[in-house]
Structure 1
Amino acid sequence: MIIRELILNSFGKFKNKSINFTEGINIVFGKNESGKTTIHKFIEGMFYGFFKPYTKRKNYTEDYNKYFPWNDSEFYGILKYSCDGVLYRVERNFLKGKEEVKIFDDETGEDLTYLFEYDNAKRLHIPASLHIGLNNVVYNNTISIKQMQNKTDKHLAKEIKDSLINLGGSLDEDISVKKVIDKLDKKINDIGTKARVKTSPYGKLIEELDRLYKERRKAANVLEEIREYQIQLNSIKEEIEKLISNKEELENDIEKVKTYKARERYNDAVKLIEQINRLNEEIKRLKDYSIINPDDFTEAVKLKNSIEEINISLNKLDNKKKKLIEVINDISDKSDKFSNFESVKDIDEIDNILSDFFVLQGKREKLIEINNKILDVSNMKETVEATNIDEMEEDLYRVEELEDEKNSIKYNSEYSKLGFLRLRLEEKEKQLNKLKTYKVFSIIGILLSLPLGFYIKPIFFIALLIPLMFLIFTLIKHKELNSYLNSIKANIVDIEKREQEREYGINIIDKEIKDILNKYNLSNKFDLKKLISNSTKGAVSIKDKENLLKELKSQKLILESEIDKLRSTIERYLAQIGFAYEINLDNIKKLKKEFLDYLEYKKHSLLVNEDIKIVNKEINELKNRIKEFSLQLNEKFEKNKVKDIEEFKVALEKKAEFEKITQELESKKSLLNSVLGDNNLQYLKKKAELDLNFDISKIENKDIKKLEGDVKIITQQIAAKKEQVARLEEKIKGLTLSVRPMVDIDEEIDRKTKLKKHYEEKLEALELARNTIERISREIHKDFAPKLNKKVGEIISNVTQGRYRDVKVTEELNIIVVDPISKRLVDIENLSGGTIDQLFFATRFGIIDIIKGDKRLPLILDDCFIQYDNDRLKNILKFLAKESLNRQIILFTCHTREKDIFDELKANYNYIDIN
């Protein structure tokens, strides 16, 4: 893989910067602060972006803000690399909210993005996934090596250990013990255990067997219950047969009583017929009053009352009209003082003046801001040399950390819970007060019941039980509520204490943030960011500040001209409408208020005139209604043949008498029908003339209704018994259907028991396989360690001219070397800083060669040899010159030593000067 070209469209200090690399050695030379580290970071950013590793969300690293373009809103770049004969083009937009990665075939333009892995957390494709095949952490611990000048021996030793640990697994692409173990664990989890009842097949099977045994016990209980119900069913059927026999005897007696009673009914019917004839004569006499309509009388009374009410309303409307005319006259007098506003078309003119005034104020504020900027830029030119940007950035990072800590504390606030508890306390205290009232009433009830029992009747002692029981209940509830209230109060005290502690923590954080900002005489974090940005930009070029100063002064002249023009416009308009006050915001608002009052008077005048029209209209409508109601009243009189309300009332009384007699007639007819029943008079007469062939003395005193009632009761009893029979039969049927046959349950238990045994045997086999593979995995590590030891040993031997050649990697991934003189194993923390540095380089190089094999990835070095003396540097460059025959090497440096040594070694290289 060869990195061919970098195009920094907008990245850090660079704008449309292009850098070309070749195969072999590439030396990128630049003085301090020339942008070497920026270019190095650009390569990393193009492949990985600036995201924190091992997170499930899109979290940005500090590098995002550090390399955000200084004078541009874009954040964009292009990287070209070749692999296996194809030239790939990576385009990346770094800007938050617009992040995008595209990979093309640079020769054909074909979009190849789909070939690369997609990161769901970042929602972007990963350009490093296809040909580099390393994550960002491994990349920065192997093929990309940054400056090590700030690392102590201890830090170097720790980084070597961490670089190995971060790789994970066996470091061998042909061995994936973790994947095999994961698959076995998955199969074990797929079967499951007894503990995972609801989620695993084995657990579900155990639960199912338990359910089947319960079902079997239930089936046995149901069979016993069915036998008991069958005994009850046979007993009830015998009772039904006895009731039917009693019913038949009663029905026979009823028939005898009916025959005897027929004579009495016939005599009663004859009397009722005579009374009906007399009532018919009375109806003929009052028939003329039957046409009188009570509804018409009611309507007539309503119409008369409505006419009287309308006359009252007419008087009220006349008075209202007079008052409205007085209001019109008053409005006319008050609006005379606003006559100067007649020339103003509408409120928009006043609003435009107010808007112009706000624009004027804004431009004045802008002028002040520009004057401040001119002063700031002038001061910045003087102080830019003394600005400590690194310290300010560290302070900014500290402020952001403190704000995150503060937000975390606020997030855990329990104020909502405290409010709920206080409401609950108030509610329970109200209940407690009610209980106290109930307790007093109970005591009063007890005291009243005692003398009543002693002096009046002992039965009042029974009434004493009610208030006594209520008193006991209130005392118990009172105790429970007191206990509950004490619990709530304790919770409130605890929460208030925790909230005070949180508030104290927030105050400490606020004080530290304030101390940091006060160091720069700033009020918030954003001003600090602005100061850092301005200071950073100021450090780039003083000339840019001079140009900015000229631009600000030019803007100042333009603003001053615009302010004079706006002020003149406002003054001319206000003079036209006779405004004689000082021109300021309060007076212009006062002018607007007066104009609004003027409009309000006009509007009020229109509304009052409209009200007068409405009142006139209502008066006319009421007069028309009086005329209409009078016509309707006369129609009602003519229809009922009366002259006035009084005559109508008398006729209505006659009609009531007519209806009363009619109702009495209907009652007699109904009584006659009741006496006759289903028979006519001739039938009763015939029955009354029959001879009775049974003993009358036995049935003459019997009540036919009682007999029929007894029949009805027995019928109901029979129906109830039959319902019991039906319910029992339904229960027996339901119980029979509610359980499966015992033999079916036993068969299913047997089948699932066999399946349980099968699962247990399979689990035992899988666990044995997993334990065996884990044991073999440990043995594989023993085989792998010599491979890494040998590779790192070869590299360290080359770069130290044979001084160190034997390196060991322990099972705990600790790095130790064999001392060339004593032959003892020595921990690298006990070696010199230069030796640790060399070992650090050799270990990284060895790791990447082992894990990537023949995939010769580029090696990117950023001033990583600045601690080397000349001899060590020459040895390492010899090694790199040899290695450059198989892989691309990009070396960033601020010295000429590397170039001179490569010239001495007659090595070919591509030299790039970025100064």
Structure 2
Amino acid sequence: MKIKSFAAEIFAGINDRSYQFDDGLNILLGDNEAGKSTVINAIYASLFIGPQIKLNTTEGKEFKERFLPYPDGDYAEAEVEFEVDSSEYKFYKKWSNSNYRGFLELADGRRIENPAKIAEYKKDIFPYGKSTYQNIVFSSQQDIKSTLKRINAEENPELIDTINSFLRRAVMELDGVSIDQFRSKIDNELEALTKKWNLETDAVSNSDRDINNPYKVGTGEIYDSYIAKEKLRRKIKESKINERRFEELGLEIKKLKKEETDLVKKIKELSEIEAEINQRAAVEIEAENILDKIKKISKTAQKWPQFKAEIAELAEKRSKAENKLRELEAEKKRAKKLQLKNEIKDRVEQIKAAENRLQELQKLKSEARVSQDQVEKMETYKNKIAETKASLKAARLKAKLNFSASDQIRVLTGVEGEERISEGEIIEADGYLRIKTDQIDIEIESAEIDFDSLREEYILNQKKFEKLKTEIQVESLEQAREKLNKITEIKSKIDVTKNRINELLASDKLEALESELTKLEQIETAREIESLNPEIEDLKTEISELNTEIKIRENRINEWQEEYQSLTELESILAAKKERKEELKENLDELASLPAEYSCASEFINDLKAKRAKREELNQSLRDKLEQHQELENLLPTASTREMESELKDLQNKFESLKSKAKNLLEIKKVFERKLEEMDQDSFKPLINSFSRNLQQLTAGKYEAGKIDANFSVRLKSKQKQELPGKFELLSYGTYDAAALALRFAIFDNLFSNHGGFIILDDCLVNFDPERRKNAVELIKEYQKKYQIIYTTCDPERAAEFEANIIQI
């Protein structure tokens, strides 16, 4: 594969560019920022990036940021012409989020725009996938330095598989098929069989995507067979239901058709007499109205004189009731006066009784000779007497007369009186003791008190106390207090009695009340008001009801007079209505007779209307059933249920066969992988040889490749056979770049030797010394004989060293 030409209307920072490329080595020469890298990116995008830029994806956002014109360009456009096996093709791309377009132009001039078809053609055009080209063909010098770091099974499995496939194919073939092809074939067949199906559980991988919600794409044969089988099973079930319903609808349609036929026949029979029955209905309605009016007028003719007689009778009853009411009202007035007489009499009696009670209380008050001042003085004297006794008690004396010649021994103690005592008796006294016999008279006083003064005070207070008792006529202070309380109570009763008298009198005088009472003595007797009131109310109610009845009849007679003028005129109208009734009867006899099943013409009309509506309903139902019948007939499958059941059996067998095939392939894969592990792993020898040859040429024989293992870990050996670490960044820049370039050419040569192709090299000789640069130029010239090389540089001298096709950027 070789690039023939490139053109860009606009891409990133370049526009209106076109370049032609030759076989072999092409040098893109231009200053920094001239657009060399942009041209390479545009060629890569034209070959491998789809035209629709989805801005909600990382790839879309990155493309917009890097390649759409700054600041607000919304599209980029470029095309690449290339040659594969002497056939020329062209990729055109217009990248955009919405206004995008792209096509592949084939050698015969046809343009393919369908993305799926373009993808199919690309499988034939490009021997390897996008990742291989990105990492081997289009790598920049900086990317080359990290090639070994990037090439690992986790980060770039596609590229590793491509290299491994090639290397294994170079050392071993299995019956004409490479190991990786054989493995891929097994894996592809297993995926084609088991995708979306779990062999272990023998069920759909995702239970939510069963027959009710099947996957549309990305499924395996087992899943597809299962879905087809279950869909057919459901179809058979639905078909049985539809067949049964189809038969049921046929019977229903037959029944409806018969019912409709019978109904149409009956409607036709009734329609023949419909016109006369309608006339009959009109006549019957008029006759019915005439009959109602005759009944009404006859009733009025009967009630008119009757109401007049009733009015006279009711008026007489009302007159009697009114007379009786007047008598009861007069009796009620007398009863009220008698009631007033009794009330006045009771008031007078209560007033007199209260006045008598007032006199008695005032007499008691005048007889009770005690005042508050007297009682208070008695309390003062009694308190002073008690105080004097207390003072004497504070000077307590005690004596004993052990011997006395006289038998007459008298003792005076404190303020008490004199008493006799016996010899040897103990004597106690308050403040003062005097013992008297025929022979002696001894006075003993306490030295702590003035006994004489206290005794004098005691006697004075005692006299005053006794005097007040005599005046008040009581025996004690308590009696005086009781007597004072009684006087207070009498005064209160006097006040209450006076208030009662005033309340009974109100604003009247007793003499006026007695005078009124004398006048009322002449009133005739009458019943109690309580017994008169019910009779009066009953009479009022009776009179009211009689007035209502009279008014009703008078109003009704007034209405008749307004409608008929008089009873005579009413009788004349009645005779005319009866005559019209007979005429209508004769008209009915001339019309068609009403069928026996109908009681009247309106019933006939309503029934005929209902039958016609029923016919429409039957007709609509029949149309619906026929439509359903046709729909079910269309739904019925062309194959019979028995044929579908036979097909279901075949699908079941196919389903089981596919599962068996998948299980067998899994067993084959296990055996294959086990055997593969036992095989010789010397797969990288061709790559090591190419890498060593390139490295020796670039380093003038100083280094060669020592080992490349299955994990793509590279070991270098020096000229002295010393093994160096696989981490190239620990080497010098020149050796690092030489090793990376050597390995890249080795990988590229091993991958594309049978396909041809092109490789992009940016200025990869910057870190080379003159000798190594000369060797690198020679190596590149050797490879340009086999492949197309596009080399980018900003150094004109470097470009001149290659003696190649120089493209000025």
Report the TM-score, using the length of structure 1 for normalisation. 0.35
Structure with a larger share of its residues in helix: 1
Report the TM-score, using the length of structure 2 for normalisation. 0.40
Structure with a larger share of its residues in strand: 2
Larger RCO (CA under 8 A, 6+ residues apart): 1
